[in-house]
């Protein structure tokens, strides 16, 4: 599990803000402001953070569902951003996405058969008989029955619809799946079933996951490593145990303090973050978290801390953990 399947370097997505009568560009929303990380084959890297931190933009940008402003994305050593539309279309067989709201992402007028066989038709794979068999097999893989292929999305529960969303992502035998808040719209009782299914499928098909969530408690079980994002940047990235047991960044510590701790012997003091998340159109100078950080020092307002490895692949961007203050 050591080979990186994906390498993201300095990825940026700046959305222009238009103003005035002539609709000129008057600024940029820096949704993603220079993110770098690697994902190893077969691992689950989770990206977490509050709404607007750039985690979903990261997922969509690296799949080129939205085009990045700057940066590189290497998948199995190949630069995805150098591919033309047709080459990228072919590459999408390997790179799939599962969306948060399965109902919105499934065409309500199509049967499940039609929804699941569509990627096969687009990529000209198999005849109608082979496609039907593949759909039956996919439904069984995600714990549904082949008889349900004739039904429409509204005839399924939320959890079943997300199983269909996962089946669709599996149709072309992908290598990497970006799961963007895949269980956030589901009841808590159903969330664990879908997460368990995703874990089983990962093992069965040797999948690599980038799992995006606003909730650190959801990703605890499924992650190998966790990256914490704030205002378009990664502020901490480490293996799961270190993030949950020894978080270094004050923002990670605050997020974790709100997560119920399964071990009754571990007591965490709840850290309430004051102030709103600043606008990504006008982020604070220096460390972007300084307006909400109780450890703020003079340097924090002036200098953006580097994102550095403080040992054992534990990366953090905070002056408390740098020696150049």
Binding-site ranges for ligand SF4 (CB under 6 A):
249-250, 287, 289-290, 293, 295-297, 300, 305, 318-320
Q: Work out the angle at residue 36's Cα, subtended by the Cα atoms of residues 231 and 251, and round it to the nearest 5 degrees.
A: 35
Cβ nearer to ligand SF4, comparing 73 with 235? 235
Provide CB contacts within 8 A for 257, sequence distance 6+: 268, 269, 270, 271
CB of 307 to ligand SF4, least distance (A): 11
CB of 306 to ligand SF4, least distance (A): 10
- Distance linking the first and last C-alpha atoms of the chain: 36
- What stretch of H or E contains 10? strand 4-19
Question: Cα torsion at 249, 255, 258, 259 (round to 10°)?
Answer: -90
Cβ nearer to ligand SF4, comparing 30 with 288? 288
Cβ nearer to ligand SF4, comparing 52 with 165? 52
Is the separation of the CB atoms in 151 and 112 below 8 Å?
A: yes
CB of 272 to ligand SF4, least distance (A): 15
Provide CB contacts within 8 A for 86, sequence distance 6+: none
Cβ nearer to ligand SF4, comparing 271 with 320? 320
Cβ nearer to ligand SF4, comparing 55 with 319? 319
Q: What's the sign of the alpha-carbon dihedral 25, 31, 34, 39?
A: negative
CB of 293 to ligand SF4, least distance (A): 3
CB of 60 to ligand SF4, least distance (A): 27
């Amino acid at each position: 599990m050591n080979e990186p399947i994906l390498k993201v370097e300095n990825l940026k997505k700046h959305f222009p803000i238009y103003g005035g009568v002539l609709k000129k560009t008057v600024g940029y929303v820096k949704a993603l402001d220079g993110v770098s990380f690697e994902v190893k084959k077969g691992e689950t890297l989770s990206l977490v953070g509050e709404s607007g931190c750039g985690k979903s933009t990261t997922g969509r940008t690296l799949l080129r569902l939205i085009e990045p402003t700057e940066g590189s994305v290497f998948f199995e050593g190949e630069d995805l951003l150098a591919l033309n539309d047709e080459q990228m279309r072919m590459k999408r067989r390997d790179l799939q996405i599962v969306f948060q709201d399965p109902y919105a992402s499934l065409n309500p007028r199509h049967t499940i058969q039609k929804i699941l066989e569509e990627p096969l038709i687009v990529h000209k794979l198999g005849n109608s008989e082979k496609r039907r068999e593949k759909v039956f097999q996919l439904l069984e893989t995600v714990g549904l029955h082949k008889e349900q292929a004739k039904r429409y999305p509204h005839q399924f529960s939320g959890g079943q619809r997300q199983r269909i969303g996962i089946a669709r992502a599996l149709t072309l035998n992908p290598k990497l799946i970006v799961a963007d808040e895949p269980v956030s719209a589901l009841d808590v009782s159903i969330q664990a079933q879908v997460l368990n299914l995703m874990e089983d499928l990962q093992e069965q098909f040797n999948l690599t996951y980038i799992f995006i969530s606003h909730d650190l408690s959801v990703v605890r079980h499924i992650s190998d490593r966790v990256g914490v994002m704030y205002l378009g940047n990664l502020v901490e990235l480490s293996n799961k145990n270190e993030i949950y047991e020894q978080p270094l960044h004050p923002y990670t510590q605050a997020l974790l303090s709100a997560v119920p701790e399964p071990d009754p012997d571990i007591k965490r003091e709840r850290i309430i973050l004051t102030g709103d998340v600043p606008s990504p159109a006008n982020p604070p100078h220096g460390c972007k978290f300084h307006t909400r950080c109780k450890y703020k020092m003079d340097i924090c307002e002036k200098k953006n801390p580097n994102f550095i490895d403080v040992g054992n692949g534990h990366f953090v961007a905070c002056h408390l953990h740098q020696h150049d203050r």
